[in-house]
Structure 1
Amino acid sequence: MNREKDDLYAAPLDGKWVKSSRSGGNGAACVRVMKIEGGVALDDSKSPGRPALRYTDEEMRAFILAAKDGEFDFLLGS
């Protein structure tokens, strides 16, 4: 890993997890995000033992803008 990623993975997860309002009410689709120093952490609330993934602000910005443009719509199937 590079220094920037090392710093992200060293950042404490002491903020508040946020879950999308589009997550299923039954807990079946619970990807959560948390703002951390230098980026964003993502996790799956159904698998608390797994470490959160961490992305820089630039990585998240690129992903969110691409998702808004529909670049990943093909992943949703029909």
Structure 2
Amino acid sequence: MAETEGKSAQAQDEDVAARKEREKNELYALDISGVEWHSAPGTEAHEERVEIAYLPDGAVAMRSSIEPETVLRYTEAEWRAFVLGARDGEFDLESAPRDDSRATG
């Protein structure tokens, strides 16, 4: 019985992986040449910043203003997980200890 359940779980995992791959392929196949890019309020056009564009079905595209040809795309679930993680502080930068020996070295 446990062996049957294990195969069933494995089959479910494979189905989920195949669905995610299909979603990603469809997302990257979208023509986004006409999307409207948004950045944080208060940033100037010449400043380096992250820009996002809203895509169909809740998906989001993200790029850097200094390298606009490189665009990452996220499904709605991926974007939601990222935003919630950011709100929870998962991506907060911690100060790295300074190595003062380089300055005097």
Residues in 2 aligned to 1:34 and 1:22: alpha-carbon distance in whole angstroms: 17
The alpha-carbon distance between structure 1 residues 17 and 66, as it changes in their structure 2 partners (threshold 3 A), is: same
Structure 2 residue 70 is the aligned partner of structure 1 residue 63: no
Quick one: which amino acid aligns to residue 40 of structure 2? S
- Residues 11-33 of structure 1: per-residue CA shift (max 9 Å, x gap): 1212210001264x4513x1100
Over 3 Å counting, the alpha-carbon distance change for 1:65 and 1:22 in structure 2 is: farther
Compared CA separation, residues 77 and 21, structure 1 to 2 (3 A):
farther
In structure 2, what is the equivalent of residue 49 of structure 1?
A: 69
Structure 1: unaligned runs, 5 residues or longer: none
Aligned-residue sequence identity (percent) comes to 38
Q: Is the 8 A contact 1:42 1:53 kept in 2?
A: yes
Q: Secondary structure at the match of 1:5?
A: helix
The runs of at least 4 consecutive aligned structure 1 residues that moved more than 6 Å come to: none
Count of matched residue positions in the alignment of Structure 1 and Structure 2? 74
Structure with higher RCO (Cα < 8 A, 6+ apart): 1
- RMSD value, Cα: 2.1
Higher strand share: 1
Q: Does 1:11 align with 2:30?
A: yes
Which sections of structure 2, spanning at least 5 residues, go unmatched? 1-19, 97-105
TM-score in terms of structure 1 length: 0.79
